[in-house]
Amino acid sequence: MKTIDIIVPVYNEERFLEDVIRILEETDFCGLEKNLIFVNDCSTDSSKEILEKYPQYKVLNHTKNLGKGAAVATGIKNSSSDIVVIQDADLEYNPKDYQSILPYIINNEADVVYGSRLATANVKSSFIILSFLANKFLTFLTNILYNCKITDMETCYKAFKRDIIKDINIKSHRYDFEVEITAKIAKKGIKIIEIPISYQSRSYKEGKKISWKDGIHAVFALFYYRFFN
């Protein structure tokens, strides 16, 4: 039986963390044997203490806050399963959507599959409007620069064969790691398949951390990885 590593970057997610763990435990990942890898990015709330209540899972702790990209990179370096996926430690994404994504990898129809939030009808209602416009623009720029045909470059839901992702050295520490992964996959000539997924954005009051500065970093990263790396 194939196995799957579910990488969960965590930074100050005490409000949602136990619910996310419960949902991940209850969700069937297409019959795959699942391994949960939590990367605590030096949380200042009770996230670390919550994770200590689950010794059956791999928990990795950063000694200082490095950013989501660095947390994902740590998770990937410590992964060993056939398939690797990413899950945010909040309730914006529904893990059940991986049931639509994973068959493409399990059946060797794809090496990389993205869950697209922007490929569904009435998607605007699920987004903060500025985030929606930023995602559309960044994806448009990605398609031009890297000759892609995707709808949601910034999605969290990315599934990989481990042989693909282990060879990608993620240098980005913040949210521009989404750009870096997509850019390096595209430059390798690997086709990205997209599957529509559900999405319900949380507000900044609820703990959303990405900001307009991350959008600017993403634009610079798109050009950097296209022309200079």
Distance of alpha carbon 184 from the chain centroid: 15
- What percent of the chain is modeled with pLDDT above 70? 90
pTM for the complete prediction? 0.89
- Domain architecture of the chain: domains with CATH: 3-227 (3.90.550.10)
Residue ranges of the chain whose pLDDT lies below 70: 1, 120-128, 202-212
In the chain, the DSSP E strands lie at 3-10, 33-40, 58-61, 83-86, 112-116, 158-161, 192-196
CA dihedral 211, 85, 101, 143 (to 10 degrees): 50
Question: Helix 177-187 to helix 129-146 angle, to the nearest 10 degrees?
Answer: 20
Question: How big is the chain, counted in residues?
Answer: 229
Tens digits of residue pLDDT in 149-178:
999 999 999 999 999 998 888 888 877 889
What integer pLDDT is reported at residue 124 of this predicted model?
A: 47
What integer pLDDT is reported at residue 212 of this predicted model?
A: 63
CA distance 109 to 203: 36
Residues with Cβ within 8 Å of 148's Cβ and at least 6 positions away in sequence, in order, are 142, 182, 186, 192
